[in-house]
Structure 1
Amino acid sequence: MEIKVLKFGGSSLADSNQFKKVAAIIKSKDSRRYIIASAPGKRDSGDQKITDLLYESYILSQKNEDIDEIFKKIEDRFNRIIEELELDFSLKDEFKKIKSSIYNHIGMDYILSRGEYLNSMILAKYLGYDFIDAEKRILFSEDGTLDRQNTDLVLGELLKKHKRAVIPGFYGSMSDGTIKTFSRGGSDITGSIVARAVEADVYENWTDVSGMLMADPRCVEEPKVIDLITYKELRELSYMGATIMHEEAIFPVKQSGIPINIRNTNLPEDKGTMIVAKARSENTDRIITGIAGRTGFTTIHIEKDMMNQEVGFGRKVLKILENHSIPFEHIPTGIDTMSIIVNSNLMVDNKEVIKNEICKTVNPDIIDIEDGLAMIAVVGRGMVEEKGTAMKVFSSINKASINVKMIDQGSSEINIIIGVDEKDYILALRTIYSEFVE
C-alpha cells in the first residue's frame, strides 16, 4: 500500500474553514496516512500567528507582567475552531497547564511548541486519527542537533503500530525530556523526518502556494511554476534565497530518495512542484529550471604579478577571513588576480583591518574592497545538453546595457552565476527570465 506523509502549514490550519479543506484533501486518498500539523497561522494580514502570541506571553511572564489578556486570545482562537467544527472536545486542562508553565517560567521552547501540539490534537479528533506527540519520538542529541539514528528507530517502530496518525510539527525533546524546537518553519523538518521513518512513497508539503516559482514574483511579473526540480537544482536556487520550505527538511528525504510534492491547500487540484532526487536533462521542455538572486555582497579584489607561482597565496588570504569568521561565497580567479565574494554584513566592522592584514601577509600590487554586488544564479538541468546557454544569458544582459562584474559556473554545469551592480539587480533578473521563458 502506498504511504504518503502530509505536512500542513500554519495558513492551511488557520481556522475551521481551512481545517475542512485539509480534511477533504486527506480523505480524498487512502494513502494519506500520516499528517504533520503546524500551529494556526494568520487568517488575514492583520491577524497574529498563535506562535507569536505564545512568544509574547512568554516575554511578558519574564517581565512578571500579566498574560491574561493575550492568553485569552490564544484560548479563544482554538475554542472557536473546535466550536465551528462541532467537536465534542475540550482543551481546558491543556490551557491551564500551559498558562501555569508560562507563569512558572518553563523553557521557551516548550511554550512555543504548544501551538503545534494543540492544533494537532484538534486535527486528530476531527479526522478520527491517532494523536502521537512528537515529544520523546523526535530526539535531539546533547549538542542540540537532531539524533537521526535514534529518531528513525523510535519513530519508525511506533508508527508501524498506527495506521493513521497526526503528529505535531516543529519540536521534539532532549535526552533529559525537555522540549526542543527546530528553527521557525521547522514543521517542514518534522514532515521530512516522519516520511523517512515510515519509508513513505511521497512527502506532500501543503502550503498556500501552488508550488515553487521560476523567479521571485516581487521582481518578475507572474513567473511560471516549476513542475519538476531535482534536489541539486533546489539547493542551488535556495542558496540564492529561493525558498519554498525549510532547507533542513530536504536532507532526510533526499538521503532516502523520497520525492517531495509542494501543493496548495486552497487549490488542491493544482499539481504543484515535484522535488526529486534525479531527473534526466532531456526530460524537460525548458532550458532553465529557475532564476534566483541576492544582493548584499562585497568583492575583495587582489592583483599581484606571478601570483600563480606563489605557493599558498590563496590559503593565506582565506586564512585571514577564517580568523575573522567570514566564509567566502565565490572565488573567481585569473593568473595574476583573485576575487573573493563575501557577505557584506560580515565585513562592516572590520573592512580596513582585513585589508591591512592581507597587505601585510601577501603584499599584493593592488587590493580593492567594493560593496554593492548582487549575484544571480541561472539554474537548470536542461543547460547540460543545450548549446549556447551562456551566450543567451550574456546576450540578454548586454542588450539591457548591464555590466557583468563576475562570472562563475559550477562543475556540474547546471548553474551559471553572474555578479552585477545592485542597482541593476531587478532589471537583470527580468531580462534573463524573459530571454528563456517568455
Structure 2
Amino acid sequence: MKVVKFGGSSVADANQLKKVTNIIASDHNRKVIVVSAPGKRYPDDTKTTDLLIKLGESIYNGTRDELAYDRVIERFATIVKDLKISEEILRTIQSRIDKACEHTEKDYNSGLHRLKSCGEDGTALILSAYLRSSGQEASYVNPEEAGILVRDEPGGALVLDESFDRLYELRKQKEILVIPGFFGYTPEGELVTFSRGGSDITGSIVAAGIKAELYENFTDVDSVFCVNPTIVDNPMKLTTLTYKEMRELSYAGFSVFHDEALIPAFKEKIPVCIKNTNNPDGEGTMIVSVREADEGHVKGIASDSGFLNLYVSKYLMNRELGFGRRLLQILEDEGISFEHAPSGIDDMSVIIREHQLPKAKETIVTNRIAEELKVDTITVERDMAMIMLVGEGMNETIGIASQAATAFQHANVNIEMINQGSSEVSMMFGIKSSGLEPAVRSLYRTFFL
C-alpha cells in the first residue's frame, strides 16, 4: 500500500486533477491520497490558502474582503465545472467556507484555522467525487474520521502518538481514500492546522500510521537538485538522499519539502519518493534511511538569506557559569527563536532570522543583554546569508572545509563564520547576502563539476 501526496501545483486546476486521477489509476497500490489546496496556475496567480488567510484577516479587521471570498469560490466553481461533477460538491465547499467565516467573526484564532483548512478540504471533496465519476471506488475521509489527533502549539499543530494506531485502521478499507492535508483535530474536537506547507506533514503522518511500503510526494519538479536551480543553470539531479540530508536541505532553503515533514516517515523507516505530476514516469528522488557510501560526500548546497548575527563578547565568558543559558533566556523571554549559536572563549554569536528580531525589538534585547549580562561588546549585524554543505559522513572526509574556503576565495566572498560542531551531515557558512549567488556557484563548481 502506498500513500500519495499531491501538492498545490498538482491540484491547481481541472487539467492537473485529471493528471492526478491518471496517476492514481496507473497503480492499484496507490490507495491513500493526501491533497493540498489549489496552488498557482501561473506565476502571478495567488494560492487558495493565501486568499483564505487574506479573507480571515479582513474579517478580523471588520472589513470583510468580498473579492478574496469571490475568488476562492470562483476557483472551486471553475474546477467543478471543468471536471463535469455535481454542483452539490461546490455547494458543500461554499457552505463550509461560510461557516468558517462565521466562526472567525466570533473567535478569530480558532476561526482562522477552520478557514485555512477549507482549501485542502475542498480539493479532497472534488478529487474523491471525480474519481467516482471516473469509475473508481473512492471516499472523502475527514482527518478527524481518519484519526489524526494533534496538540495545538505555537507555530502549528503537533501530532499525538495515538494517531498512528488509529490511522492503521485505514488499511481495512478497500476503496481509494482521499484525505485533506494540513490539519487535524485535538482530542476535544477542535480543528488545528499544521505550520505552512503542512500537507507534507499530513502525508508523512498517514504513511507512518498505515505503515506504507512507500510515500510518494508529487510536486512540479522531476527531482531534488543538488543546488538551487535559480542560481546554477541545469544543476545535477539527486537520485538518492538520506532522511537527514533531506531534512537539512529542506530546512536551509530547499523548497521541495517541508522541513518537518519527514520525521514521521523517518521514524518508521518508510522510503519517500519525490516525483513530478507532469512527468510521473520520471525517476524522481528517493529518500531513504541509509544508502551506500559514495564518493564526494557533499550531496547538496543549500542557501538562504534573511539572517542576522547577534554578537556578544565578554572577557572570561568561559568561566562565567550559566552565561549562555541566560543569554538565550533573554531571547526566549522576548519570543525570539534562534538558528545557530557558534561560540568562542570570550564571545558568542547567535544567528537569528531577521523577522524574529525587528528593529523595534532590537533595542529592548540589546539593552537587556547589556544590563543583565554586563557584556563588553554587543552588535547586531543584519543582511546575512547562510550556506550549508550537506552530506552524510562529511566529518569523516579530509579537506571539505579547505575546499570550501578556497571556493569562497575564488568567489571573492569573505566568510563571516563557520559552524559545524559535531554534525555528521552539514557544515554552515555565514556570509553577507550580497555574496550569496557567486559563493554558491563557486561551491558548485568545486564539489560537483
Conserved? CA contact 1:301–1:368, under 8 Å: yes
Q: Relative to structure 2, which stretch is displaced further, 208-217 or 55-64?
A: 55-64
Moved more, 339-348 or 372-381: 339-348
Q: What TM-score do you get using the length of structure 2 for normalisation?
A: 0.84
Report 1:197-216 matches (<5 A).
Answer: 197-216=209-228
Deviations 1:149-188 (A, max 9, x none): 2322322224423442111212222334343222332211
Q: Is the 8 A contact 2:139 2:177 kept in 1?
A: yes
- Say yes or no: does 1:272 pair with 2:284: yes
Aligned to 1:32: 30
Instruction: List alignment gaps of at least 5 residues for structure 2.
Output: 105-110
The correspondence of residues 2-17 of structure 1 with structure 2, limited to 5 A, is 3-17=1-15
- Match in the other structure for 1:130: 139
- CA gap of 1:232–1:88, structure 2 versus 1, over 3 A, is same
2:3 and 2:344 map into 1 onto residues whose CA distance is: 49
2:137 paired with 1:139: no
**Structure 2 counterpart of 1:390, which letter?**
A
1:408 corresponds to: 419
**Kept in 2: contact 1:204–1:263 (CA 8 A):** yes
Distance across 1 between alignment mates of 2:343 and 2:245: 25
CA contact (8 A) 2:218 2:276 kept: yes
- Identify if the C-alpha distance between structure 1 residues 338 and 183 changes in structure 2 by more than 3 Å, giving closer, same or farther: closer
Letter in 2 for 1:300: Y
Query: In 2 relative to 1, CA 120–307 (structure 1 residues): closer, same or farther, beyond 3 Å?
Result: closer
Moved more, 359-368 or 386-395: 359-368
Q: Cα RMSD over matched residues?
A: 3.0
Q: Deviations over 1:374-403 (max 9, x none)?
A: 221111125345332221111121223322
Residue 411 of structure 1: CA displacement? Answer: 1.1
2:172 is aligned to 160
Correspondence 1:20-419 to 2 at 5 A: 20-58=18-56, 63=62, 67=66, 73-87=71-85, 90-91=88-89, 93-95=91-93, 97-98=95-96, 100-101=98-99, 104-105=102-103, 107-127=111-131, 128=136, 129-136=138-145, 137-141=147-151, 145-280=157-292, 282=293, 284-295=294-305, 296-304=307-315, 306-345=316-355, 346=357, 348-351=359-362, 354-355=365-366, 357-359=368-370, 363-364=374-375, 366-381=377-392, 383-419=394-430
Distance 1:142 1:352 in 2: 31
**1:424 alignment counterpart:** 435
CA separation in 2, counterparts of 1:112 and 1:317? 36
Q: Which moved more, 1:108-117 or 1:97-106?
A: 97-106
Q: Is the 8 A contact 1:320 1:357 kept in 2?
A: yes
Gap change, CA 1:94 and 1:259, over 3 Å in 2: same
Contact 1:375-1:419 at 8 Å conserved across structures: yes
Shift, 1:202, TM fit:
1.0
Confirm or deny: 8 A CA contact 1:302 1:368 kept in the other structure. no
Q: Can you list the C-alpha shifts for 1:51-109, whole angstroms capped at 9, x where unaligned?
A: 34444555566647584x76555444434434433445632541563364256345333
Aligned partner of residue 349 in structure 1, secondary structure: helix
CA gap of 1:104–1:18, structure 2 versus 1, over 3 A, is same
The amino acid that maps onto 1:190 is T
What is the number of equivalent residue pairs in this alignment? 432
Structure 1: distance between partners of 2:382 and 2:84: 58
**Unaligned runs of at least 5 residues, structure 1:** none
Highest Rg: 1 or 2?
A: 1
Contact conserved, 1:409 with 1:417, CA < 8 A, in 2?
yes
Structure 1 residues 66 and 196 mapped into 2: Cα distance closer, same or farther (>3 Å)?
A: closer
**SS at the partner of 2:208?**
helix
Instruction: Classify the secondary structure of the residue corresponding to 1:404.
Output: coil
Distance 1:344 1:162, change over 3 A: same
**1:313-372 deviation line (CA, Å, top 9, x unaligned):** 444544444444444433434444444434444263354555555555555555544334
* Structure 2 SS opposite 1:381: coil
Distance in 1 (CA, whole Å) between partners of 2:70 and 2:411 is 56
State how far apart, in whole Å, the 1-side matches of 2:103 and 2:115 are. 9
Distance change >3 Å, CA 400–CA 246, structure 1 → 2:
closer
